[in-house]
Structure 1
C-alpha cells in the first residue's frame, strides 16, 4: 500500500509488493484508490490485507474524518482472485475459509470506522466489489455501473464480505433474494431504485457531487458526525440476522455444504443453464 501525502499533511506507510491500493491524505480527508485497471480491479490477498490495515488504522487516526474509495479504469471492482475450493466435505477448507474470513474482516473494518465513508463506483461491481461498496456509508454510481453477485453460478457460497446481512438491512429480503438467487445483472437505475446506491449520474455529474458531498461532510461538527454514525450503525444492526460478516463457523458450514453437494452432484459451476 502506497500512501501519498500533500505538503505538511498526512502520514506515510510502507508499500506492500503486489498491492494495488493507493492512498492520499489531505488533512482530514483520505482518498483510497483501487489501482488495478488491467484486471478490472480484481483484488489479490495483498490488496485485501492492505485495505484491512488501512481501515483498521483509522481507529488511531481520529483526525481522518472522511474516506473516499474508488477504482481506476473501467470498473470499480470485479471481485477477488479465485481461491481453491475443497473437493470433499472434510478436506482443503483452510485456504477457502481464510480467504472468506479476510474479505469479511475488510468489510467489517470499512463499516466499523468512525470516519464517514464515501464510495464511487463505475463499470463492474461484482461479488466482493458489491460487498465492499455496501459496507460504505454513502454510495455514488456512474450510470454505466452494473451490479452482480454471481457466486451461485460459479460454484461458490455467497459468504464474501458479509454482504448478505448488510443487503438484508439496506434493501430488504425480496431484493436480496433476487441478487443472490438469480445472480442477474442489475443496472445503475435499478440499483438506485433498490437502494443499493444513493445517487446515479454521469461521470461529470458525479465528479461535482462527490466534491460537494465531501465538502459538506467536512463542514459538519466532528463529534456530531461520529455520534451520528455510531447511532446509524447501531440502528442498522438491530434488525440484521446474525453477525454482519458471518462467523467462522458459518463460513465453514457454507463451504462444507458446497463440498458435500459437489461430491454428490458434481461441480455446480458446470451445471447447464
Structure 2
C-alpha cells in the first residue's frame, strides 16, 4: 500500500512544521547537531512565522532528538568572522535572532515552548520568548556566554530574563554560567510546568485545548496587553544593540581566532 505524505507537514532544511487546525507546531529539526541555531534556521523560522495563518491560535516550538537546542553554531560564527573580520555577518545574524524572538513573543497566537534535554544560550532565548514553557524533569539550562568572553546579547534574552525572573537571580546565573535543572527553572519562572518527558505532549495539549476555544480578538488584545506592560517596565529597549554588542565582542575575542575555527558545537 502506498503511503501518501501528510499535507499538513512541511520540511525545511532545519525546521519541520505541522499544522493541525488552529495549532501550528514548529520543530527545530537538526538533532544530529543538537538543533544548534544557524543562519539558515533563523531564516526558516522567520519564513514560517511571517507566513503564519491568522487562524492559528497556538504555536508550539519544540526540538527534535535528545536536546531542545544547544545554542548558537560556533563554527558558523567563526566562518562569518573569517569572511568579514569586522563582524558584519554576525550583525546580520543577530538582527535575525532578535526578529525571530520578537515574532514569538509578539505573536497573536499563544506560543508554547516544549523543552527536553539541554536548552543552552540561544536555545534558552528561543524558549523564553514563548508565552508558556513546559520542560521535562530531566531538562537542563545554562547561560555560558560570559565564560566564552561574550555579552548576554542574543535575541533580547537579557531583558526577558530580567522581566520573568528578576535581577538578583539573573545576575547570579549570568555571572556564574552554571547549569540548572528543570525544578530550579520552574522556581525561577523560566518554566511554568515540569513533567516527565513522556508527558510533554500531553502537557502541551492541556494548555492548547482551552486556548483554541478563546475569541481570537480577545486573545490578540490580551497578548498585546502583556507585551505592552512588559515593555513599560523598561526605560528603553536596548535589545536593538544586541547584534552590535555580540559582533563587537566576537571580533575582539581571542576565542574567534584559528582555534575557534577548528572547533564545532554550540557557541552560547
TM (norm. structure 2) is 0.84
Is 1:247 equivalent to 2:240 in the alignment? Answer: yes
Residues 171-193 of structure 1 show CA distances to partners (whole Å, capped at 9, x for unaligned) of 11112112211111011000000
Is 1:123 equivalent to 2:112 in the alignment? Answer: no
CA contact (8 A) 2:63 2:115 kept: yes
Tell me the equivalent position of 1:169: 163
Separation of aligned partners in 2, 1:143 and 1:131? 19
Root-mean-square deviation (CA), in Å?
2.5
Tell me the equivalent position of 1:143: 137
User: Per-residue deviation at 1:156?
Assistant: 2.5
Please identify, of 69-78 and 174-183, the stretch whose mean Cα deviation from structure 2 is larger: 174-183
Alignment of 1:1-273 (within 5 A): 5-6=7-8, 16=12, 19-58=13-52, 61-82=53-74, 83-84=77-78, 91-243=85-237, 246-248=239-241, 251-256=243-248, 259=251, 262=253, 267=255
User: Per-residue deviation at 1:135?
Assistant: 0.3
Q: Report the 3-state secondary structure (helix = DSSP H, G, I; strand = E; otherwise coil) of the residue aligned with 2:51.
A: helix
Separation of aligned partners in 2, 1:147 and 1:32? 21
Q: Report the 3-state secondary structure (helix = DSSP H, G, I; strand = E; otherwise coil) of the residue aligned with 1:219.
A: coil
User: Per-residue deviation at 1:5?
Assistant: 3.5
Please identify, of 93-102 and 122-131, the stretch whose mean Cα deviation from structure 2 is larger: 93-102
Residues 123-147 of structure 1 show CA distances to partners (whole Å, capped at 9, x for unaligned) of 1100110000000000000011111
Separation of aligned partners in 1, 2:169 and 2:245? 24
Gaps of 5+ in 2: 260-268
Q: Report the 3-state secondary structure (helix = DSSP H, G, I; strand = E; otherwise coil) of the residue aligned with 1:200.
A: strand
Separation of aligned partners in 2, 1:253 and 1:160? 9
TM (norm. structure 1) is 0.83
More relative contact order, 1 or 2 (CA 8 Å, 6+ apart): 2
Separation of aligned partners in 2, 1:237 and 1:203? 33
Extract structure 1 runs of 4+ deviating beyond 4 A: 257-260, 266-270
